[in-house]
Amino acid sequence: MAQLPTVRQWLRATSRRAGPWQRLTVLAGTLSTLLLLVQAWAIATVAQRMVLDQAPLNTVLLPLALLPLAFAGRGLLAWLKTRAGARAGIAVRQSIRRELLERLAHLGPLWAQRQHSATLGNRIWDQVDALQSYHADFRPQTLLCATIPLVILAVVFPLNWAAGVILMVTGPLIPLNMIMVGFGARGRQEAQFVEMSRMSRHFLDTLRGLPTLKLFGISRRHADTVYEASENFRQRTMRVLRLAFLSSTALEFFSSVSIAILALYIGFSYLGQFHFGTWGHGIDLFTGLFLLILAPEFYQPLRDLGVHYHAKAEAEAAAEDLIPMLERPVAERQGAEPWQVPEALALRLHQVTGRYAGQRSPALKALDMTIEAGERLAVIGPSGSGKSTLLNILMGFMRLEEGALLARGDDGEETDIARLAPEQWQRSIAWVGQRPVILSGTLADNLRLADIEASEEALHEALNQADLGDWVARLPNGLATTLGDRGQPVSGGQARRIALARAFLRDAPLLLLDEPTASLDRDSEARVLAALERLCRGRTVIMLTHRLALLQLADRVLMLDQGRAVALDTLEALRTSGGPLATDTTREANHVRAFS
C-alpha cells in the first residue's frame, strides 16, 4: 500500500492548484516593497533638503511628484495582492472539493452509507473552506518573508551596516515566537474540528428524529444534548481565538522592541555617542529617516505571517482529516474493455458471492442463475436475505468476492462486468428505488439526470409515459418549475413517477426496481403499476418487491434466505401444492410479506 503524504507535503502539493494566482500575489507584494523604497527616498530627500540643506523648492519637485504616485501604486498593489490571494484560495478549494466529490463517486454509495452524512458534509464544506486562508494568505506570505526582508537588507547595508545587523539579529525573534505558538495551535484546531463534526452529527440526527422526539415528549431533553455539543464547540473555538490574539500581541511586542532598538542606535549616533556602522561617512537626516521608514516594513511581512499563522494550524488540522479520504486507494479495473450498450441484455450469475467490508459472513453466497433478455425477475426474501446485496452487485457498487457476473448482448458474446469500467456498465442500467431523490432545481434538471442532452420533447414524452402529463400542464412554469426547497412540493407518488420518467429517458436494456410501489396509496400505486407495465416492455427487469401485484408481472420469482437462493421458478409453480407459496390466500400474502 502506498504511503500517505505528510500534511506539509500535501499542502505544498495542493498549492500548485492555485495556478498563477499565488505567483501574482508574491509579485504584487514585492513590487509594493520597491515602491516603498521610492516612497522612503522621497520623504527622506524632502526632509534633508528642506530642513537642513535649505535648498530651493525646485530641487524637491521630483520627490514631491513621486510621493503621491508611490502611495497610489502601493494601494493598487495591495488591492491586487488581496484579490489574487483570494482567487488562489478559491481555485484550490474548488479543485479539492471537486476531487472529494469524485472520490466519493469512486468509493461508491456503500462506503458513503457507512459514514455519517454530517461528517461527510463537514469534510466537503467546512474543512475544505479551512484551506482558504492558508493558500490565500499564509503561503504567499511565507514567500514574501523570504524576498521583502532581503530586498530591504540589500538597500540598508550599503547605507549603515550596524542598522543591517540590528535588523538581521532581531528579525528571527518573530518566527521563533510563531513556531512556539504553532505547537499548541494545531492541536487545538484539530480538537475544534472534531467538536464541530460531533455537533453537526447531533444537530442532523435531532432534525431527522424531531417528529419521533416530539411524539415521545423528549424533544426538550434532547435539545440539552445539542446545547452541550454547541457549548463545547464554542469553548474550543474561543481557545483557538485566544491563542491567535495572544500570539498577535507577542508579535507586536517583539517588532516594536526591535524598531525601538534601531531608533535608539540612530538617536545616539546623532548625539555623537555611537561612531560605528556608518562606513566612515557619518549619519545624516536622510539616512536616519530613510532607515526608520524602512524598519517597520522589514518586520511587516513577518508580522503578517504571524497574523495568518492560525490559518496554517487550521489548514493542517483539516488536512489530517482530508488526506486519508483523498489519498485512499481505489481499486481500479485494469484494461477496461470497450462496451456498447446493447438493445437487449441477458445476465448470467456464476457462483456470485459478495461480502461487506468488516463482515465475517458473506451477504450473498454462490448464487448461480441465468436471466434471459427481456425476462422479468422478482426477488423476495426476509430482511438480511441478500436482496439489496444482489442489487448493489448488479449496479456495480460492490465488487465480487468470488464468481462472475456476465452480460450477453446482441452479438451473443458474454462479457465479464469486472473487466468494464463502472461507468460503462452503468450506462446499460435504469433504476427506480423506493426513495427517489428530488434535487433542488427545475423539473427539467431533475429529469436530465438520466440524459443530460434530452430535448424538451423527450422530457414531455417521458412524463406522459410516467402519467405525469396532466400534472406538468398545471405547473406554473412547466418544465422550468423549481422543485424541492422553496419550490413546488412533490408528493411521494409524484416523486416515484418522476423516477419512472427518468427510467423512460434512460431507455436502458436493464431495469432495476427496488420496491417501486412501497408506501403508496391505492391511487398512486395503480398509476405507478400502469407506468411500470409500459416501462418493462422489451427490457430485462429485476425487481425487489413483496407486493403481489408486482409479483404477477414477473416471469420468475427468486426467493433468497440468508444469502442463498432457496427457490427460483414461476409464481404459479411456487404456489402449487408443495411449493414455498402453496398456502391459502391469507397465509400466502403473509408469507410473501414475511420475505420483505
Mean pLDDT value across the chain: 85
Which residue intervals of 172-218 are DSSP H helices? Answer: 173-208, 210-215
Contact 165, 157 (CB under 8 A): no
pLDDT of residue 280: 80
Written as one letter, the residue type at 593 is R
441-442/482-483 β-pairing:
antiparallel
Contact 307, 251 (CB under 8 A): yes
Among 125, 116, 141, 106, residue whose Cα is nearest residue 25: 141
Give the integer Cα–Cα distance in Å for 516 and 504. 14
Alpha-carbon Rg for the chain, nearest whole angstrom, is: 35
Distance of alpha carbon 4 from the chain centroid: 19
Q: What is the 3-state secondary structure (H, E, C) of 247-272?
A: HHHHHHHHHHHHHHHHHHHHHHHHCC
Distance of alpha carbon 119 from the chain centroid: 11
Mean pLDDT of 548-573: 89
pLDDT of residue 443: 92
Among 472, 144, 139, residue whose Cα is nearest residue 314: 139
Over residues 223-240, the pLDDT tens digits come to 777 777 778 778 877 777
Query: With 70 as the cut, is the pLDDT of residue 2 above it?
Result: no
Fill in the DSSP letter of residue 560: E
Q: How many CB atoms lie within 10 A of CB 221?
A: 10
Phi and psi of 401, rounded to 5°?
-80, -40
Query: With 70 as the cut, is the pLDDT of residue 590 above it?
Result: no
Q: Which three cell numbers stand for residue 393?
A: 452487485
414-416/402-408 β-pairing:
antiparallel
pLDDT-based confidence at residue 587 (cuts at 50, 70, 90): very low
pLDDT of residue 39: 94
Placement of cell 472534531 in the chain = 194
pLDDT-based confidence at residue 243 (cuts at 50, 70, 90): low
Query: With 90 as the cut, is the pLDDT of residue 398 above it?
Result: no
Q: Which three cell numbers stand for residue 400?
A: 465480487
| Alpha-carbon separation of residue 595 from 191, 292, 543 (angstroms) | 46, 86, 14
Among 168, 162, 145, residue whose Cα is nearest residue 263: 162
Query: With 50 as the cut, is the pLDDT of residue 588 above it?
Result: no
Q: At what angle do helices 285-307 and 309-326 cross, to 10 degrees?
A: 40
| Residues listed for the chain | 596
Give the integer Cα–Cα distance in Å for 121 and 203. 13
pLDDT of residue 255: 80
pLDDT of residue 245: 67
Beta-carbon contacts of 281 under 8 Å, excluding residues fewer than 6 positions away, are none
Mean pLDDT of 387-412: 90
pLDDT of residue 586: 41
Q: Is the overall model pTM greater than 0.75, yes or no?
A: no
pLDDT-based confidence at residue 294 (cuts at 50, 70, 90): very high
402-408/346-354 β-pairing:
antiparallel
What are the structural domains, with CATH classification, of the chain? 7-194+243-321 (1.20.1560.10), 346-594 (3.40.50.300)
pLDDT-based confidence at residue 356 (cuts at 50, 70, 90): confident
